[in-house]
Structure 1
Amino acid sequence: MKKIRNAPQIIDAGHAASRQLVLDIADATLQRLDSYERIKSIMRLEGDVLHIGQRHWNLREKRNIYLFGAGKACNHMAMAVDHVLGDRLTRGIAIVKVPEASDRFNKTEVFVGGHPLPNAEGHRASQEIIRVVEQAGPEDLFIVVISGGSSALMSCPREGITLQDEIDATDVLLKSGAGIYEVNAVRRHISALNGGMLAQRIQDVGAELIGIGISDAVATPATGDIGVPYTAYKSTPIGPDATTLDDARAVIVNFNLADRLPQRVVSYLRNAGPEAETPKAFPNNTYFLLNTLPDSCSYAKQACEALGLPALVLTSFLEGESRDAGTFMASLAREIQAYGNPIKPPCVLLSAGEVTTLIEDNAVIKGHGGPGQEMAASFAIAAAKAPGACLLSIDSEGTDGTTRVAGGITDSTSLKAATAKGINLHQALREHSCFEALDAIGATVFTGNTGTNLCDLNILYVPALVPVLEGAAK
């Protein structure tokens, strides 16, 4: 089944040949990243023995086997474990962003949490997870699957901070211009589960933890053999946290948030003592890492090569303002077509990371969108001077910003198409209404849940300029 569900409509709405190539590359990449297949490739049950990669567990020695999951790829991750364990699973709790009609579980209860902002159902699920852990003991086994988005979906603020405080704090942080590391430094230190606190609770009752994760953190190295336990696992609810209370306090100062964040959050962070620090090591846990940001670029490059297209990985560290990144991508396309730098056309340029959108005042918002759509819209404006150039910018898990689409795809014809419909892309960027603008010209990408979560995937195709034959214009 194709990952990009509206591909025919996308192709018909712009430069067809360029869009077809970009969509083929994106689809092949997403297929390889699907966590259901990744987990099934290393996990199997043989009688009473559970095998995961190089390790195995005799389930006769375990009283209860619990499955917890949270994240934007949780549907596929939790399903894989649930399907492998079957009746050996005692109980499962999965917190997903978007449920799919095709999701099938045996013993796992699904909760629909909130993302990017936490919600009450995610909070209820988190409280139930805590209750299960508190009743567990040394003979129990917890298998926890985590992907990006768990900080919002697994929402459970510490005592003295309300759910609404956590919601409001998340909203402010995501619009502050802070990077994801800074955002997480605050979120983890006001949470009763995130930043390694779930693992701490499991350790405190003496139970065993197997963690399976997808890392969407910029700078995490590419994966190798995913069946080998990953010793450098960190952060999320089940790993040691690299951020500190001092980091969280610095975010408040550096981004001038003291008067914008809920005062209970500010007061808690300012007054918290060493006992409120998140855990920094879990030497007895077993972790497996399925994918990281560089993997998406690597798989996309292999897909390009299979199509006979030269490809260059620009970076898997892309951060900053999304609209600026889109303009830069268009500038690269023009440089390639004019001078063949840094690679001769036709070619594909690949990048991954996590661009963000600064919104200092909610009053300016007139619609919906996300960083991927803003990147695609700004590219469309500048790429009108790069014939045939096409950029796809998506959140690889399938939802970009506040929308149900994965992101946007635009090409050198998109600005003209928008203008013909009376759509001002500059205004859409100013008013953060790029979803409405791009959707009207067939430039939004719909995938549903993809089974992965590796932040942004950007694919730029640049064809060679078609030479104008002498006398052709006469």
Structure 2
Amino acid sequence: MPISSPREFLNSLYQAAVDAVSAEKCLPAFLPEPPRHGRTIVIGAGKGAAAMAHTVEQHWKGELSGLVVTRYGHGVACKKIEVIEAAHPVPDIAGQQAAARILDLVQGLTKDDLVLCLISGGGSALLALPAEGITLEQKQAINKALLKSGAAISEMNCVRKHLSAIKGGRLGLACAPARVITLMISDVPGDDASIIASGPTLPDDTTCADALAILQKYAIAIPDNIAAHLQSRHGETPKSGDPRFARHEHHIIATAQHALDAAAYQARTMGVAAHILSDGIEGEARDIGLMHAALALQVARKSQPFPKPCVILSGGETTVTVRGNGRGGRNAEFLLSLAATLNGHPGIYALACDTDGIDGSEDNAGAYYEPASAQRAIALNLSPKHMLENNDGYGYFSALGDLIVSGPTRTNVNDFRVILVL
């Protein structure tokens, strides 16, 4: 079918993707029966934690209480579950205090009690409780360095687990002897539950040695007390097979694949063929942009490997190694690389957004690209290649009026990329 507005069409696919992984749609089917005799305590962390807590309240048949922590601006009013907002991606004192309160909340439970733990992406920064002898300022410094280094999320969370008093299964052990059910919205490629929000209630098979190797790999300097903490056994996490996790279960209720499937279905209902490349693409955002641009050009020029018209979809979590001082998250960087490669080639349109509505630490979800972007950029004396060197995707698309600002979506399955080839 003819597409009168590529921008509106691509926006509709993004909205379909986000709607498909909302807490209201995904969570109710996973709720257990309330305990017969004990209490239900709800705890949680992440960009979607408040929306998840609100959904629990709407559908829960018994009494409950609890506390969840979410990012500033991502809160939802709840009646029985307290919602605290804190900083992301660099933790702050509010997150530290919330983590300490959550840990206190699960003390003294019995085997008749149920802990319902609601986890989504962002929980690593929001549950900021440093291990004994480590300061919040030290964790903040290491977190900032990791964010700029280009480290993958699995690497970042490995380090975070081994510097924490609550992540890497420690919160789960603190709930004993209660039954623990963890419901998770996955923001990690491969949907490894132990990586999501650094797995506060799940066993962890990474080690202190792994964390040290990651810090050395990215040449991140650490103070002597942290080096000593990692070199000793004090920073070790509980491992798989630990009998203390016997009464624990977890369910991943929403993933990037769910979002991509929903967007593909939406495109097909509108008469456009849809092809999903992968739900777990990782790597430098600029390199992934180059690869997607090459594929789009092959489709546009030779109808290979897909005939046009079509949409090409992908998800996952790219990274940005910061070299300049511009603004922009990984989705803006991806699109800037794509724009520099396509250089206005006709018939190719693209959108890249984070499903949480926030691209990195900016106020936009992502951005939109169209063939006319190249000429409009020239008129404004903007060079996508030069701005890419400065990591300034935000500045480029802001000047063009092509930022996408959705506000917080209160869910998070990471990057959503879609290219339309007509």
Once residues 454 and 154 of structure 1 are traced to their aligned partners in structure 2, the CA distance between those partners, rounded to angstroms, is 19
Percent identical pairs in the alignment equals 29
Which residue of structure 1 lines up, in the alignment, with residue 102 of structure 2? 129
Deviates more, 1:142-151 or 1:414-423: 414-423
346 and 262 in structure 1: CA distance in 2 versus 1, 3 angstrom threshold: farther
| Alignment-derived partner of residue 99 in structure 1 | 73
> Residue 250 of structure 2: SS of its match in structure 1?
strand
How far residue 316 of structure 1 moved from its aligned partner, in angstroms, is 1.8
Q: What's 1:61 paired with? A: 37
| Distance of aligned partners of 1:238 and 1:305 in 2 relative to their CA distance in 1, 3 Å threshold | same
1:74 aligns to what?
49
Q: Aligned partner of 1:353: which letter?
A: G
Matched with 1:32 is 20
**Partner residue, 2:63:** 88
Distance 2:377 2:224 in 1: 43
- Distance in 1, matches of 2:133 and 2:246, equals 31
The answer for the alignment partner of 2:225 in structure 1 is 264
Which consecutive unaligned segments of at least 5 residues does structure 1 have? 1-14, 44-51, 222-229, 464-474
Instruction: Check the 8 A contact 2:154/2:195 in 1, yes or no.
Output: no
- 3-state SS of the aligned residue for 1:175? helix
Q: Give the number of the structure whose alpha-carbon radius of gyration is greater.
A: 1
1:242-288 deviations in whole A, cap 9, x for unaligned?
A: 4222221221232222xx2344333321x221772334342321322
**Per-residue deviation at 1:432?**
2.4
Asked whether the equivalents of residues 326 and 379 of structure 1 are also in contact (C-alpha less than 8 Å), the reply is yes
Query: Is the 8 Å Cα contact of residues 165 and 264 (structure 1) preserved in structure 2?
Result: no
Partner of 1:273: 233
Contact 2:204–2:237 under 8 Å retained in 1: no
Paired with 1:97 and 1:231, the residues of 2 have a C-alpha distance of 21
Q: Deviations over 1:172-220 (max 9, x none)?
A: 11211221111111111111111111101112xx122111111222123
Cα pair distance change 1:255/1:16, threshold 3 Å: farther
Give, as a single letter, the amino acid of the residue that structure 2 aligns with 1:33.
V
Alignment of 1:18-417 (within 5 A): 18-40=6-28, 42=29, 52=31, 55-57=32-34, 59-62=35-38, 64-85=39-60, 88-89=63-64, 91-100=65-74, 103-203=76-176, 206-220=177-191, 236-257=199-220, 260-269=221-230, 271-273=231-233, 276-281=236-241, 282-359=245-322, 364-365=324-325, 367-417=326-376
In the aligned structure 2, how far is the partner of 1:451 from the partner of 1:16? 30
Q: Deviations over 1:352-373 (max 9, x none)?
A: 111100125xxx31x4210001
1:439-454 matched pairs, under 5 angstroms: 439-454=398-413
Question: Is the CA contact (8 Å cut-off) linking 1:69 and 1:146 kept in structure 2?
Answer: yes
Deviation at 1:459, TM superposition (A): 0.6
Q: Which residue in 1 is equivalent to 2:420?
A: 461
**Structure 2 counterpart of 1:236, which letter?**
G
Shift of 1:234: 10
Distance 1:31 1:319, change over 3 A: same
Secondary structure of the residue that 2:115 maps to in structure 1? strand
CA displacement at 1:378 relative to structure 2:
1.6
Asked whether the 8 Å contact 1:197–1:279 carries over to 2, the reply is: no
Between the aligned partners of 1:241 and 1:417, the Cα distance in structure 2 is 50
In structure 1, C-alpha distance between the alignment counterparts of 2:266 and 2:91, rounded to whole Å: 36
Residue type at the aligned position of 2:7: R
Query: C-alpha deviations, 1:391-433, integer Å up to 9, x for none?
Result: 1111111111111211121122212222222333333322223
Give RMSD over aligned pairs.
2.4
For these two proteins, the number of residue pairs brought into alignment is 417
Q: Structure 2: how far apart are the matches of 1:80 and 1:108?
A: 11
Unaligned runs of 5+ in 2: none
In the superposition, the TM-score normalised over structure 1's length comes to 0.82
Deviation at 1:100, TM superposition (A): 5.0
